[in-house]
Amino acid sequence: MKRKKHSIPSPRVSQRSNKAKGKVVDELCPYFDNIPSHITVQILLQLPIESLLICKCVCKMWKTLISEPHFAKLHFERRPSLMIRTKDHRVSRTLYLLECQPEKFEIGTDNHVKLQPFKLPLRDANSKFGEKQNKIKNKSKCPYIASKPDLDKFGIVNSCNGLLCLCDPSNGNPLVICNPVTGEFIRLPEATTTPTLNTTRVTREQRLTALGFLPKTNEYKVIKMLVRYGKRVNDRESVILEINTLGTPSWRNVEADSQVSIPLLKYPTCVNGALHWIGFEGGFAGRPRSILCFCLESERFQSFPSPPQVFGNHNNTTRGNSKITMGELKGFLYICDSTFFTDVTMWVMNDYGNGESWTKLYNIDPLVSSFGSPDPSPYLSHYGLCFPIKHFEEGAAVLLYHPCNWFIYYEPEKYGFKVFQIHGPDPNFVEIIPHIPSLISLKDVVKGDNIEVLNIHSRCAKFKLHEENEALSLSQPIDGDLESLRSLFYYDSD
């Protein structure tokens, strides 16, 4: 057999063998610069988000590599995380990154690990910016500014492809799209005046907003909808639908299909270039009954198959207590039913659009089986949100949220249950936002000069809010296991 010369080139050999065997840093540097980008990516994917921000500044190629949404998705798969915000009466413009790495949950009972903060813009920043500008020049310390929740706080509508849609919490009007990791944000165009209707015939209205992404055209669209319901049962709703494609300077009116009836909608989720909501019947404390879908390409509503068993289970007994959420993980639509906290189920639509492909993935029995008690405390039924963390097949992992900021991380194959707690200044409740941290630049999204891309860090970072001295931190309760939870939630512990 002919001796083959191995194909891997060895350009550095002559250099090295000529020099001394001791380490010389300069020699080694050239050795690294020809490495293919997939190897660099391999290293970058293992870095935490803060380090990626540093690496973005290394050179143009790295900046492009890191800012790609695909990179963000791969990174998220290796280091799944959620964003958390304190849900209290103050402004809370800080989102905290909760990384779901089970090794990190074992920190001992005395340790508190601070969570990495990211800032959201302030709603009324412009006026503050003007006022304080002079004061900054004179003082070296960060000036504190007073903030008012009614003026400054943003509500978070949904997260799509690494961007967050923020709204005015009082009326749901979408105002800003931001990337909390890079600090960039854009203001959405001013709302056009909505035509007034004969108000005597309107009993209630629903304002709906969502941010979606259309991969086909690489466009982000924000939809804004005002649905007015008439008094009489057969009254048609009137729907005003407006869409803004990010990067354009105005809202477009779109005609909504009058044949499609719009119930109370919650949990906007963008999958496959369409927005989906769960439709609830019977008002605010109603029962989940359907899924409504809005195609971003055709800009039309259409019906969408729902997992029949899930919605059918909810009848009068669970009225008001239904805890069904919908979301997206790895491109799949999922529905999580944690109404019966003894039996949390997860459904995934394996084949998009195909109603038959709704598959029940697993039941989790986080407390009952461990304690053998058939009657868990009624306290439990009020909370208990469930978020899938890792992709469903490979060692599915789920995060469950109990009252008083206890979290249960459940990864059956490797770790079982891991319990931890989030501490903060006002620790009663946190808002959990499923979000894929991404370094996508809004400048690439917006393309062109129509919309100005602002950055929190070059504007409002100079200001501090009083609340920002306190940080959220993660701690491990007494034994880090379910036993300690039991004593909290069971009235009759033996």
Partner 1 sequence: MAQEASSSTSSKTISLKTGDGEIFEIEASAAKQMKTVQRLIDDLGDDITIPLHNVFSKELPKIIEYYKKDITGEITKDFEAEFVKDLNDDEVKVLFLAANYLDANKLFEFLSQNIADRLESKSVEYVRKYFGVENDFTPEEESKLREERAWSFRGIKEDE
Does residue number 455 form part of the binding site for partner 1 (CB under 8 A)? yes
Per-residue binding letters, 461-490, with partner 1 (x by CB under 8 A): x---------x-------------------
Selected range binding partner 1 among 249-257, 302-310, 328-336, 453-461, rule: CB under 8 A? 453-461
**Closest to partner 1 by CB, 53 or 254:** 53
Q: How far apart are CA 288 and CA 319, in angstroms?
A: 10
Sign of CA dihedral 51, 53, 57, 62: positive
Residues paired with 210 in a beta bridge:
223
Instruction: Report the residue from 47, 197, 202, 482 that binds partner 1 according to the rule CB under 8 A.
Output: 47
Closest by CA to 276, choosing from 324, 356, 333, is 333
Write the Ramachandran bin of 241: left for phi over 0, alpha for psi from -120 to 50, otherwise beta.
Answer: beta
Backbone φ/ψ region at 129: left (φ over 0), alpha (ψ -120 to 50), beta = alpha
DSSP structure string for 210-248: EEEEETTTTEEEEEEEEEEEESSTTPPPEEEEEEEEBTB
Structure tokens at 300: 């039309």
Q: Which amino acid is at 80?
A: P
Q: Does 216 bind partner 1 (CB under 8 A)?
A: no
Helix (H) or strand (E) holding 368: helix 368-371
Span from 36-44, 145-153, 283-291, 486-494 in contact with partner 1 (CB under 8 A): 36-44
Residue 106 touching partner 1 (CB under 8 A): no
Closer by beta carbon to partner 1, 54 or else 233: 54
Q: 3 or 216: whose CB is closer to partner 1?
A: 3
117 is an interface residue for partner 1 by CB under 8 A: yes
Give the residue, chosen from 119, 187, 391, 423, that forms a contact with partner 1 under the rule CB under 8 A: 119
Task: State whether residue 327 is helix, strand or coil.
Answer: strand
Question: Which phi and psi (to 5°) does residue 460 adopt?
Answer: -85, -5
Residue 494 bridge partners (DSSP)? none
The nearer residue to partner 1, 1 or 233, going by C-beta atoms, is 1
Stretch that binds partner 1, among 42-50, 161-169, 234-242, 366-374 (CB under 8 A): 42-50
Rounded to 5°, the CA angle 416-410-361 comes to 110
Nearer to partner 1, 32 or 284 (CB): 32
Nearest of 342, 343, 344 to residue 334 by alpha carbon: 344
Q: How many CA atoms lie within 13 A of 84 on its CB side?
A: 27
Interface with partner 1, residue 30, by CB under 8 A: yes
Residue with smaller CB distance to partner 1, 29 or 233: 29
Of the pair 114, 382, the CB lying nearest partner 1 is at: 114
Residue 233 as a binder of partner 1 (CB under 8 A): the answer is no
Q: What would the x/- binding string for partner 1 be over residues 175 to 204, using CB under 8 A? A: -------xxx--------------------
Nearest distance, CB of residue 221 and partner 1, angstroms = 26
> Is 367 within 8 Å of 342 (Cβ atoms)?
yes
Instruction: Choose between 44 and 167: whose C-beta lies nearer to partner 1.
Output: 44
**Does 1 sit near partner 1 (CB under 8 A)?**
yes
> Residue 82 and residue 98: Cα distance in Å, rounded?
5
In the list 16, 104, 266, 391, the residue contacting partner 1 (rule: CB under 8 A) is 16
Q: Which is nearer to partner 1, 30 or 412 (CB)?
A: 30
Among 8, 141, 195, 284, indicate the residue that binds partner 1 (CB under 8 A): 8
Nearer to partner 1, 181 or 380 (CB): 181
H/E run at residue 441: none
Between 24 and 285, CB nearer to partner 1: 24
| Cα–Cα distance, 91 to 108 (Å, whole number) | 32
Question: Quick one: which H or E segment has residue 397?
Answer: strand 397-401
| Contacts of residue 79, Cβ cutoff 8 Å, sequence gap at least 6 | 48, 99, 101
Give the footprint of partner 1 on residues 48-67 (CB under 8 A).
48, 50-51, 53-60, 62-63
* Binding-site member from 15, 19, 20, 25 for partner 1 (CB under 8 A): 25
- Closest by alpha carbon to 159, among 244, 222, 225, 93? 222
Q: Total residues at the site for partner 1 (CB under 8 A)?
A: 52
Shortest CB 54 distance to partner 1, Å? 6
C-alpha pair distances (Å), 145 with each of 141, 236, 395, 455, 464: 12, 48, 46, 18, 6
Asked whether position 285 contacts partner 1 by CB under 8 A, the answer is no
In the complex, least distance from residue 162 CB atom to partner 1, rounded to whole angstroms: 16
Q: Give the DSSP H or E segment for 389.
A: strand 385-390
Residue closer to partner 1, measured from CB, 16 or 486: 16
Q: Show Cβ contacts of residue 250 under 8 Å, excluding neighbours closer than 6 positions.
A: 189, 192, 244
Minimal distance, residue 114 CB to partner 1, in Å: 5
253 scored as a contact of partner 1 (CB under 8 A) = no
Cα 30 from Cα 362, distance rounded (Å):
51
Could you list the residues that contact partner 1 (CB under 8 A)?
Answer: 1, 3-4, 6, 8, 10, 12-13, 16-17, 21, 23, 25, 28-33, 35, 39-40, 42-44, 46-48, 50-51, 53-60, 62-63, 114, 116-117, 119, 182-184, 455, 457-458, 461, 471
